[in-house]
Amino acid sequence: MPAPGLPFDNAPAIAPNATAEELLHSVFGYSAFRLDQKRIIESVLAKQDTLVIMPTGGGKSLCYQIPALMFEGLTIVVSPLISLMQDQVSQLSELGVRAVCLNSSLDLMEYEENASAVRSGKVKMLYLAPETLFLPRTQALLKGIRVDCLTIDEAHCISDWGHDFRPEYRKLVEVREKFADAVTIALTATATHQVRADIKRQLLIPDSHEFVSSFNRENLILNVIPKSSPDSQVLQILRDHPNESGIIYCFSKAQVDELATMLTSRGFSVKPYHAGLADTMRAKNQQLFIRDDVQIIVATIAFGMGINKPNVRFVIHYDLPKNIESYYQEIGRAGRDGLKADCFLLYSHSDSQKIKFFISQKEEAEKRTALAQLANLVAYAESDACRRYTLLEYFGEQAQDRCGACDICLNPPKDKIDLTVPAQKFMSCVKRSGERFGSGYIVDILRGAKNQKVISNGHESLSTFGIGRELSKPAWQNLGRQLVQQGLLKQDPEYGSLTLTAQAIPVLKGEAQFWGKIVSDTPPRLRPPSPSKGEGPGEGTSELFEILRKKRKELADEHNLAPYMIFSDKSLVDMCAQLPQNREAFLEVHGVGEVKWLRYGEQFLYLIKEYAADSLN
C-alpha cells in the first residue's frame, strides 16, 4: 500500500494537455457531464470566482477536481471534517490523482511525508480544515508555492443564516488575499436565497458567476408516515430493505442507544453513533458502516456530514429534524450512486414540541429564526401536497405539483369529507377553555380525560368535556392541525396555544362547512422498494451482482479501503447489464477509468466472462 494520500506507483501519468471531457472519461470513467458541471468548470478555468449550489450526489467534487488536474499549480480544498477529507483523498488516490490532506489525525511521520509532497510540487490537491489553514506552519509551507485554486467546500458554513454556521469559516475571507492569483470556488448542497446572498457578499462573488442546479434528487422516494408505533414501523421498513445499507436518525443519544439495542436483539446488523460515545468507538462504528461490515447506523445528527458512501438505500428519520435544510442534507446521504433510495420521516406533532423546548433556551433573535424554520418543516410534514413540490418550493425552485415518487403521489389522499360537526366541537372547546392551551390539552378535554391538569383547571365541568369520545386522540390531533392549516385556528409558534381566527366564526355558527380528512389509526403499509428498470441488477443477473460484490469486498479488505472506492454499486449494475468481454468494453462501464482498469479490471472481467460462459451451458 502507498503512503497515506499518495497514489499507487503503477498509476499512469495524466495527460498534461487533456481536455476536461478527456479527463472526465479517462480518469473518472464518466461518459458525460451532469447538471451545470461543464459550465462551472469553464468558469473556474477562466479564473472567475464561482459559487456552486448543487444537490448532494450531483457531482460537486468534479467541479474543482477536473480544474485542479488542468491547473499548473496547487488546488487547496477547505473542508470542515477530517473524515470527509480522508474519504476524498482515498478516492482520488484510487483514481491515480495526487492528493493529500494535512490534519490532526496524522502522526508526525505521515504529516511530514504529505507536507514534503506538497513542497516538491508532486501534489495537485491539498485538503485542509480551516483551522489547519490558519496555522503558522501551514502558512509557511504554502509560502512560495503557486496556488491556482482555493476551493471552499460546505460553503454554507460561512453564513450565520446557514444551518451549520462555523465562525472559523469567516476567516477564509482574509486568507483569500494571501492567494491573490488563485480563483475561488465555493460549493454547497443546501443554501436558501438568504444564505447564497451572504456567501456571495462575503467572498465577493458576482451574481453572474453563481450556478444553481436543481435541488431535485429524482431517485429519492419521499415518505412521511404518521408516527404511531415507531419501533414497529422501523422494523417494517427494515424488513422491506433486506441486506441494504441505511441510516436511522434519532433526536437524542438515549433514543439512539435504545433503538440500536432493540434492533441488535432482533438480529439486524447495526451500530450506534452519537457524541456520547468515545471518539475511538464512533470512528470504529463509522468505518464498519462505510466498509459494509455493518448495514445500519442509528445516529444523531452528529453522523453523516463526512460520509460519502454511495450505496445507502434508505434513510429513516425516527424523530423530527430541526429544519428543512437539515432534513434535505440528511436524506441526501441516500442514493448518491443515482440508484433508487427510500426516505422515511416518522412524524408526530409532539416531536415538534420537544424541539420547541430546546429552541426556547436560545437568544431571542436566534429563537425567532429557529421557530420559523421549524414551522416550515412542520408544514412540509403535515401538507397533503406533493412532497417534492413542497421541498423544491422552499428552496425557491419551480416544480411540477406531482412528482410520482412520494407518498402523496403514490397514495393520493382520499377525497375530503364534511367534518363540520367535529370542527365545531374542537373550536368550541378551544374557545371555552380560554384560548390558552395547545392541541394535546384540547383533545384531552374532548375525550374526557380526568388528568391532573384538566381537573386543576376545572375543565371537567366544561360543556365540551367528553363530547369527543367517538374519535381517537391521533384523529382529533390531526383535525386540529387541519384547522390550523386551513386558517380557522392560529397556533402560537413558541408555546403552541390555539386561538380562533375570523374564519372560524361562520363554521361555529353553522353558516359554513368545514371539509377535511379523518386519519386512520392504523399506520399505512409502507411501499415496498420497487426499483425501475435499469436501476438495479436484472432478475437474471442478480447472481452475478452478488459475485461481483463479494469480489469487491475481498479487494477492499485487502487494500484497506471502503468497497465503493473499488467500484460503486452503479458500476457493478452496469457490468451486469453490459457483460463486457474485453478491455475496451470494460472501459465503457460507468465509473471505470484507466487506473481502475489497471488495478481491478482483469479480475472482474474474468468473473463476468465465467458467468457468461456458465449461463450459455
Summarised one tens digit per residue, pLDDT across range 281-309 is 988 998 899 999 999 999 997 666 567 78
Burial pattern 256-278, b for ≥16 Cβ within 10 A else e, equals: bbebbeebeeeebebbbbbeebe
Could you tell me the three cell numbers for 312?
A: 445507502
The answer to whether residue 37 scores a pLDDT higher than 80 is yes
> Virtual CA dihedral for 244, 249, 252, 257, nearest 10 degrees?
0
**Count of all residues that appear for the chain in the document:** 617
Choose between 190 and 108: higher pLDDT.
108
pLDDT at 535: 54
* Sheet-wide strand order for 296-299: 220-226, 341-347, 312-317, 245-249, 296-299, 270-273
Who's near 261: CB < 8 A, 6+ residues apart? none
Mean pLDDT over 369-390 rounds to: 86
Contact 548, 572 (CB under 8 A): yes
- pLDDT score recorded for residue 531: 39
**Lowest mean per-residue pLDDT among 367-371, 496-500, 544-548:** 367-371
Reply yes or no on whether the pLDDT at 151 is more than 90.
Answer: yes
Q: What is the pLDDT of residue 157?
A: 86
pLDDT band at 160 (very low <50, low <70, confident <90, very high): low
Distances (CA, A) of 525 to 317, 428, 468: 17, 35, 28
CA distance 60 to 113: 28
Most confident of the ranges 242-251, 396-405, 412-421: 242-251
- Does residue 413 carry a pLDDT above 80? no
Residue from 506, 436, 426, 526 nearest 222 by CA: 526
Output the CA angle 286-131-204, nearest 5 degrees: 110
Q: Which of 499, 445, 511, 493 is nearest to 473 (CA)?
A: 445
Assign 599 a pLDDT band (cuts: 50, 70, 90). very high
Residues 263-272: contacts with CB under 8 Å, at least 24 apart = 263/234, 263/235, 263/238, 263/296, 263/298, 266/235, 268/238, 268/295, 268/296, 269/294, 269/295, 269/296, 270/294, 270/295, 270/296, 270/297, 270/298, 271/296, 271/297, 271/298, 272/297, 272/298, 272/299
| Per-residue pLDDT tens over the stretch 246-266 | 999 998 999 999 999 999 999
Retrieve residue 28's grid coordinates.
473518472
Residue 245 has pLDDT above 60, yes or no: yes
- Place 208 in a pLDDT band, splitting at 50, 70 and 90: confident
**Hey, where are the domains in the chain?**
20-212, 220-410, 417-516, 542-616
Residue 8 confidence class, pLDDT cut points 50, 70, 90: very low
Between 58 and 508, where is the model more confident? Answer: 508
The pLDDT of residue 165 is above 80 = no
Q: What is the pLDDT of residue 172?
A: 86
- Give dist(CA 244, CA 242) in Å, integer: 6
Three-class SS of residue 133? helix
Please tell me the least confidently modeled range out of 233-237, 445-449, 527-531, 562-566: 527-531
Would 20-212 and 220-410 be classified into the same CATH topology?
A: yes
- The answer to whether residues 336 and 354 touch, using CB atoms and an 8 Å cutoff, is no
The yes/no answer on whether domain 417-516 falls in CATH 3.40.50.2300 is: no
The residues, any chain, with a CB within 8 Å of residue 5's CB and separated by 6 or more, are 89, 90, 93, 99, 100, 101, 114, 117
Contact yes or no for 320/251 (Cβ under 8 A): yes
Q: Are 253 and 282 in contact (CB under 8 A)?
A: no
d(CA 127, CA 122): 14
pLDDT tier for residue 13 given thresholds of 50, 70 and 90: low
How many angstroms separate the CA atoms of 414 and 304, rounded?
37
Q: Count Cβ neighbours within 10 Å for each residue of 549-587 and write b for 16 or more, e otherwise.
A: bebbeebbeebebbbbbbbbbbbbbbbbeeebeeeeebb
Distance from C-alpha of 183 to C-alpha of 49, rounded to nearest angstrom? 5
* pLDDT > 50? residue 533: no
Highest mean pLDDT: which range of 183-192, 204-213, 601-610? 601-610
At 105-144, the pLDDT tens digits run: 888 999 999 999 999 988 999 999 888 998 999 999 999 8
Are the C-beta atoms of residues 205 and 49 closer than 8 Å to each other? yes
Nearest Cα neighbor of 176 from 151, 208, 209 is: 151
Query: What span, in angstroms and rounded, lies between the C-alpha atoms of 499 and 429?
Result: 11
C-alpha cell recorded at residue 287: 468505518
Q: C-alpha grid cell for residue 246?
A: 441505511
Q: Which fold has domain 20-212?
A: Rossmann fold (3.40.50)
| Confidence category of residue 521, pLDDT binned at 50, 70, 90 | very low
Q: Residue 582: pLDDT above 50?
A: yes
* Location of C-alpha cell 502507498: 2
When computed from its CA atoms, the radius of gyration of the chain, rounded to whole angstroms, is 27
Q: Class of the 542-616 domain?
A: mainly alpha
pLDDT tens column, 64-115: 999 999 999 999 999 888 878 888 898 999 999 999 999 888 889 999 999 9
220-410 CATH = 3.40.50.300
Q: Are 276 and 253 in contact (CB under 8 A)?
A: yes
Confidence bin at 5 (pLDDT 50/70/90): very low
Residue 141 confidence (pLDDT): 94
Task: Give me the pLDDT at residue 15, please.
Answer: 65
Average confidence score pLDDT of the chain:
87
